[in-house]
Amino acid sequence: MVTFSGTLTAICILLAALVIRYNYIRNRQQRTQEALSATVYNRFLIQYKEQINHIILTVIPFANDYCSFTELSHKLQLIKQLLPKEAIPQGYASTAHLHQAYLDILYFCNNSDSLREVHNKAYLDRQKLRLQQYFATSLSHPLDHQQVDAILTDDDNTLLIAGAGCGKTTTVQGKVHYLLDKKLAEPKEILLLSFAKKNVEDLRARVGQLGVTCKTFHSLAYHILKGSGKEAQVIAPQEVEELVMNIHQNLTKDQNYLASFNDFVLHGLRPIRSENDFSTFADYIQFLKDSDFESIKDQLNKRKYFIDGRPALITTNVIKNPEHCYIANFLFIHDVPYSYELPYPYLEEIKKDEAYNKHKKNYRPTFTIYLNGYDEHSINFCPTPKDYTIFLDHSAILNMQGAPRFFECTNNPNKTEIYQDLVSWKQELHQGAHTRYIQSYSFEFKNQTIEENLIANLQHHGIRLSRKPNVEVYKILEEVYGKEIDAALHLVLTFINLFKSNRKKLKEIISTNTLLFKNAPELIDRNNALLAIISSVYKGYQEALSVSKKMDFNDMINEAEMVTSQKLFQHSFRYIIVDEFQDISVNRLKLLQVLKTQKYYKLFAVGDDWQSIYRFSGSDLTLFSQFSDFFGHTIIRKIETTYRFADPLLSISSHFILKNPNQIKKSLRKLTQSKTKLLIEYSKEDKQSINQNLLGILLKLYIEYGESLAEKSILLLGRYQHDISRIASTSELVIKRKESCIQVDTLLRDITIDNKGDTRRNNQFRFKRDIPFYTVHRSKGLEADIVILINCESGKYGFPLEVSDDPLLHLLLSGDDNYPNGEERRTFYVAMTRAREKCYFLVNKNKQSKFLRELFIDYRKTSSVSDECPRCNGELRYIKNVLGKAGLSQMFGCANFKYGCDYVDFKQQKVESSTRSNRES
């Protein structure tokens, strides 16, 4: 009888036998397959023996030269063409030459990039050692190791990032000499490009005698068009500006255009922001100082009271913020007389037992509005003034139950409750005094109902609004907002330059505007209104070019690119070297790309993203910072030894520029142990004071340098050309506008008197010289021993210029250039880094630039600094002595009082402790 266990045992034995049989058959098949694969592989090696040997002997080995990415690609492509890829059988082992050679080929293909890097590094090391004497003597000055690395690098695309004063032009000169001396190119095969005519002239002076071609992009485009049989009649840049101005003037005859332009200058040039848009009170105050808001009425009052060249006392209060300015201009444009922040005339004295509240005690309605022909003066003679006045309060709140972000209530954490109580108190006050009262709010600006609500409220109280005609408004704007009109037209011109350079469609820009600012509908409407103005000017501009059969520089470059792409022009360059590459625009970049597509050349681009300051002419920083995205494989080199300036300027300026995270990091280092100092000279607003400052600087320099001051080079810099007008022409300082310089003729005296009154030193020196004046943009590439920057102020036309960061330009620029004041920060950096020995900042102490304030805070040791306001970082200034119960105290107040900061500090004399409070009286 067969048992269950016996059956199970038999089954297991059978299964084991089957497994053994299966493995035997599979292994036999595998051995057969391996033998077959080995046979196939051996046949492959024999069949491609010549190709394998050829690749090993002639393709894979690097020449005794630099191997570019394209040259490596050619090697890999040739290997692919000569030798199909064949799988090596598993377990195949052989010491045969062909097999080992094939393994070497596979290894090369899989590791080609790293092998190329190793080869190139070894080559560079050999060349630097072998050519040490060459690089030390080929030019007037020896080249440093970073310059030599850049010159020897011979890849498809090389981006050389060069710091200020690091010798980039010398490196370009060395590159050209090396290419010619080592027979890497003939002179006719090298093209040097730059953006400004003066840069090209400098390059031509250095290497032109070698026979190489030096051109601006515009002259290259002209050469391409001429070479393709097209004649180009080109309009000069200054003519472009004049043409845009003339087109604008003609368009002002169109009432729709004029109304739109007036509204933009009044309300759109600087987008309206309330305190709720800022994270700190200090940022908000700085915004107000930078913007320097002034109403039309304020400006007219200044002109009205300007007597004998000196401003008489004007009692009107300064407009504090853009929302107030908007309302003030709205009232003025609609012929509604008003006063700003006058004390409420019917405020009863607060009882002594009532809780002290500065907001109630010092209550000033934002606007006092007058009816029936009365104004702020004649109302004083009205027998019933309440019948002819309306009080308007504007509140910086985002909802009816809120409070302004920076509303201050001492010793009470619930500021919303306190503020709402204040609102109720004002309403009850007006009701009790039987005065007419209306209110406006910040949220009305956000939801774009401010004008509608103002009209409704004013009409409700019997005011008949009559807007001044557009022509009259424009004439007033020309008188009081002339610089704003210039700024608006400059913005139009900048947009047209970027627009034509980028070659975007208007519909695309409108769509981007809606998408980019989807959370700010008021900004979308503002940008669309500006686009409508630009569209009108652009249409007239293009029509004028068409009628005159001319093209501008952007048209010429765009046309040259098209001609080249159509192969109507053939270039013969092996190397194109581009200087000042940080100023590249989209259309210039596309021209370089199409030239490279037509015929391969090696691109050597030199620039410094820290000095990219020509956005108004079309440059876009991303084209530099993301270079390889546009040109492919790129080797980046840096030269970081500056031969111009040293610490503390070196470290201060580097730290300053790198606050913009989009700037490429460099570690600039000085060559010598010398110092370059930053010095601040404070002035007042009048021109005479600035003259005294300049003469004072010259005296300090004479005391330090003696008569060798005559050998020191000096530059005066300004943010704008009109900054030269900050100086008054006198017998000692004469403005020579045509020559753009200051003629100085003064006697400098270095006198020392001892304690007894005896003169110990009495040196005199007649300083007679023309000191050149440049805008910062024109000074780029220049340097001097002494640099004096005469505009370091806040305000509409201070430094930085806030209008240059207009949000509309973001629609044409990349994300890398959207850092706040990024362009202006780079411009300020350029100004600082022109100096070899000393850089002076001449500034009105009441209106310090936020850039200078930033340097001030970061590097306090560079100059003395007084106490700071803890609320807004403003300066605390002595006001008066106060005698109280604790004795005599000194009262200090914040210098930003007129912008809304009422902080004060009471310091007891001869007592170390101090008491602080807010301004209560």
Query: Cis peptide before 404, with omega less than 30 degrees from 0?
Result: no
Average pLDDT over residues 385-396: 94
pTM, full prediction: 0.84
**Predicted pLDDT at 918:** 41
813: tokens are 């620029």
pLDDT in tens, 630-662: 999 999 999 999 999 999 999 999 999 999 999
- Does residue 83 belong to any structural domain of this protein? yes
Residue 563 has phi, psi (to 5 degrees) of: -60, -40
Please tell me the distance from the alpha carbon of residue 890 to that of residue 906, in angstroms, as a whole number. Answer: 6
Region at 373 (left for phi over 0; alpha for psi -120 to 50; beta for the rest): left
Please enumerate, by residue number, every residue annotated as part of a binding site for ATP: 162-169
Please tell me the distance from the alpha carbon of residue 146 to that of residue 641, in angstroms, as a whole number. Answer: 8
- Does residue 562 belong to any structural domain of this protein? no
CA neighbor of 604 nearest in space, from 572, 639, 575 = 575
461 shares a domain with 331: yes
711 shares a domain with 618: no
**Predicted pLDDT at 844:** 82
Residue 299 — pLDDT band, cuts 50, 70, 90? Answer: confident
Residue 413 — pLDDT band, cuts 50, 70, 90? Answer: low
In this structure, what CATH number is given to the domain that contains residue 699?
3.40.50.300
**Predicted pLDDT at 915:** 41
196 shares a domain with 79: no
- Does residue 46 belong to any structural domain of this protein? yes
**Predicted pLDDT at 881:** 86
pLDDT of 18 over the 80 cut: no
Average pLDDT over residues 414-421: 84
Q: How open is the CA angle 787-792-793, to the nearest 5 degrees?
A: 165
**Predicted pLDDT at 685:** 61
Please tell me the distance from the alpha carbon of residue 520 to that of residue 492, in angstroms, as a whole number. Answer: 22
- Does residue 762 belong to any structural domain of this protein? yes
pLDDT in tens, 140-188: 889 999 999 999 999 999 999 999 999 999 999 999 999 999 999 999 9
635: tokens are 């080797």
Please tell me the distance from the alpha carbon of residue 343 to that of residue 368, in angstroms, as a whole number. Answer: 9
189 shares a domain with 324: no
Residue 36 — pLDDT band, cuts 50, 70, 90? Answer: low
- Does residue 559 belong to any structural domain of this protein? no
Average pLDDT along the chain = 88
pLDDT in tens, 467-486: 999 999 999 999 999 989 99
**Lowest mean pLDDT segment, chosen from 93-107, 381-395, 806-820:** 806-820
pLDDT in tens, 435-459: 999 999 999 998 889 999 999 999 9
Average pLDDT over residues 372-377: 89
Share of the chain above pLDDT 90, in %: 58
pLDDT in tens, 226-258: 988 887 789 988 899 999 999 999 999 999 999
428 shares a domain with 347: yes
Neighbour tally for 803: CB within 10 Å? 20
pLDDT of 806 over the 60 cut: yes
**Predicted pLDDT at 308:** 45
Please tell me the distance from the alpha carbon of residue 701 to that of residue 785, in angstroms, as a whole number. Answer: 11
**Predicted pLDDT at 62:** 95
Beta carbons of 723 and 790 less than 8 angstroms apart:
yes
**Predicted pLDDT at 866:** 54
* Domain end residue (candidates: 862, 888, 907): 862
Please tell me the distance from the alpha carbon of residue 527 to that of residue 447, in angstroms, as a whole number. Answer: 16
666: tokens are 């460099």
Average pLDDT over residues 758-763: 77
Q: How open is the CA angle 40-41-45, to the nearest 5 degrees?
A: 120
pLDDT of 195 over the 80 cut: yes
217 shares a domain with 195: yes
84 shares a domain with 146: no
* Domain end residue (candidates: 85, 118, 151): 118
Please tell me the distance from the alpha carbon of residue 610 to that of residue 780, in angstroms, as a whole number. Answer: 12
Please tell me the distance from the alpha carbon of residue 288 to that of residue 292, in angstroms, as a whole number. Answer: 6
Please tell me the distance from the alpha carbon of residue 28 to that of residue 23, in angstroms, as a whole number. Answer: 8
881 shares a domain with 849: no
Residue 419 — pLDDT band, cuts 50, 70, 90? Answer: confident
Region at 270 (left for phi over 0; alpha for psi -120 to 50; beta for the rest): beta
Burial class (CB in 10 A: 0-12, 13-18, 19+), 178: buried
Please enumerate, by residue number, every residue annotated as part of a binding site: 162-169
pLDDT in tens, 717-760: 999 998 998 888 898 999 999 899 999 999 998 887 777 777 77
807 shares a domain with 747: yes
CA distances from 238 to 10, 221, 241, 533, 552 (A): 105, 19, 5, 21, 11
Average pLDDT over residues 306-310: 48
638 shares a domain with 613: yes
Residue 565 — pLDDT band, cuts 50, 70, 90? Answer: very high
Average pLDDT over residues 99-122: 95
pLDDT of 351 over the 60 cut: no
Please tell me the distance from the alpha carbon of residue 423 to that of residue 407, in angstroms, as a whole number. Answer: 12
Decide: helix, strand or coil at residue 843. strand
Question: Which is more confident, 494 or 355?
Answer: 494
Task: Let me know how long the chain is.
Answer: 921
How many structural domains are present in the chain? 5
Amino acid sitting at position 605: A
- Does residue 868 belong to any structural domain of this protein? no
Neighbour tally for 816: CB within 10 Å? 19
537: tokens are 């000017």
**Predicted pLDDT at 350:** 52
839 shares a domain with 887: no
pLDDT in tens, 819-878: 888 999 999 999 999 999 999 999 887 788 889 888 877 776 444 445 788 888 888 888
**Predicted pLDDT at 353:** 46
- Does residue 10 belong to any structural domain of this protein? no
Per the structure, the complete domain to which residue 884 belongs is given by 876-918
Please tell me the distance from the alpha carbon of residue 154 to that of residue 661, in angstroms, as a whole number. Answer: 30
Residue 577 — pLDDT band, cuts 50, 70, 90? Answer: very high
**Predicted pLDDT at 914:** 39
Cα-Cα-Cα-Cα torsion 91, 94, 99, 101, nearest 10 degrees, comes to 120
Average pLDDT over residues 536-548: 96
pLDDT of 208 over the 90 cut: no
- Does residue 655 belong to any structural domain of this protein? no
Average pLDDT over residues 510-535: 91
**Lowest mean pLDDT segment, chosen from 103-107, 276-280, 705-709, 710-714:** 276-280
Decide: helix, strand or coil at residue 680. strand
**Predicted pLDDT at 816:** 61
472 shares a domain with 373: yes
